Structure 1
């Protein structure tokens, strides 16, 4: 796996924010911030994509709250809100003097990417959203069922004797059409089990945001977006993505066939290829 030029920790009042900074001397002078999803840290999420990215000479991959090597100062797990994760990133960007950058986010990290873009609109150029949380709200019955399932998963993940059940509920909620019992699912479960209480906190973070945020306003705050949806994900997600793209000249929607919610792990080279292609392109 590609090794970063810098591996370091930024100590904040409540967090030790761990990050990796990759440098590519042959690439154009351009920066990219990549945010992972819930439960699986930055290096694993983006590791297979990074070697194929061609248009950025600096790529920053932090571990978000509840995941990887980023920890509360007491090294215990605590709940958090999306705005707190954005504040961590803002402090890291200021520390590194990153005033302009492109931005990518997967799942929970996609939601955080949208919040970061809304908070620093002039700083973010191109945005890549891979199966972002909060892109779509299902009908009331599906939304209620999914919300109850995901919160039940979080509760089980905090109970060390019920981690397996919690992971099953979590995967059923985010990827109901996945290929069950596959080698890929086994790998995903193993990765998600590293910090189950941290994953629970990320789940609750998204759940709270779903209740509190104005999704329409959040989507309106985005600009120059390429979004990526797995072909085996819930069809409503792709329908909503296409709906946005139909009325937005700066929004492109890619359907990744043969992939479910875990598409960064299933189709990394294709994701990188599309990111490269879309890096300087807006719809006309």
Structure 2
């Protein structure tokens, strides 16, 4: 069973789900777009039952009380600072970090810049940012897959995604996420300003510096039917991890790994954490 939690930080209170004993080994799980902390509900519950203290927050823009209006307040540096601020508020000096989709990108940045805070890193779907940047320069397949990034910077995106009972937003999940969960995501992102805040993650200026290599033990999980991230960046990610590295490829699974194959992912995570 999961519980609801409020994590008070200088930026404001983040909503979260959590499970496990207060003194359990801490694991923080970062969701992607257009989801929320509940995307990790299965993993949080199982990790909690195994004695870990697992916490999955609704991140900046997704937690209503941490939803600044200005696009510049959603840059990667700020999102990474949120991770450390939440860990500090939870009194975690070191912790295991997991992330999916753009939450995985934030996890990569956190691991690269603050390795002393992490025991391990688990990233699902999103390749190392430097591997993705290289693929965007050299791989036509990845260029086509990432075309949405340009589209989402257009300010008409919110209206288009939410039109006709959020038809476009619902289609993103490729019918691989339970309809009731999709309904919940749509409900949350239909709140005033919520979808704009979520899209501001993509609209904020990106860091011009190249992400460092990651030295903490890393598990990277990529699925062959992922529409956003192709094999070039996925296979190249190994070059950007200097610590112990495990690459797991899931056949016939789409982008929505945590909710599409929750048992498979959770088993991989527990093995990695062990």
Answer whether TM exceeds 0.5 for this pair: yes
Deviations 1:125-168 (A, max 9, x none): 11100112635243445566555533423533433x65248977
Task: Give the gaps of 5 or more residues in structure 2.
Answer: none
Task: Give the gaps of 5 or more residues in structure 1.
Answer: none
Q: Post-superposition shift, 1:249?
A: 6.0
Is structure 2 residue 26 aligned with structure 1 residue 31?
yes
Q: CA contact under 8 A between 1:40 and 1:191: conserved in structure 2?
A: no
TM-score, normalised relative to structure 1 = 0.75
Aligned residue in 2 for 1:17 = 14
Deviations 1:161-203 (A, max 9, x none): 652489777788xx7xx7x5x3748556534422255444444
Q: Post-superposition shift, 1:250?
A: 1.5
TM-score, normalised relative to structure 2 = 0.77
User: In the aligned structure 1, how far is the partner of 2:238 from the partner of 2:6?
Assistant: 38
User: In the aligned structure 1, how far is the partner of 2:207 from the partner of 2:77?
Assistant: 14
Choose the corresponding residue for 2:189, options 178, 192, 195. 195
Aligned residue in 1 for 2:148 = 149
Aligned residue in 1 for 2:6 = 8
Q: Post-superposition shift, 1:277?
A: 1.4
Aligned residue in 1 for 2:266 = 272
Q: CA contact under 8 A between 2:223 and 2:255: conserved in structure 1?
A: yes
Q: Post-superposition shift, 1:114?
A: 1.5
Aligned residues: 261
1:196-275 residue pairs with structure 2 within 5 A?
A: 197-206=193-202, 208=204, 212-214=208-210, 217-218=211-212, 220-234=213-227, 237-245=230-238, 250-275=244-269
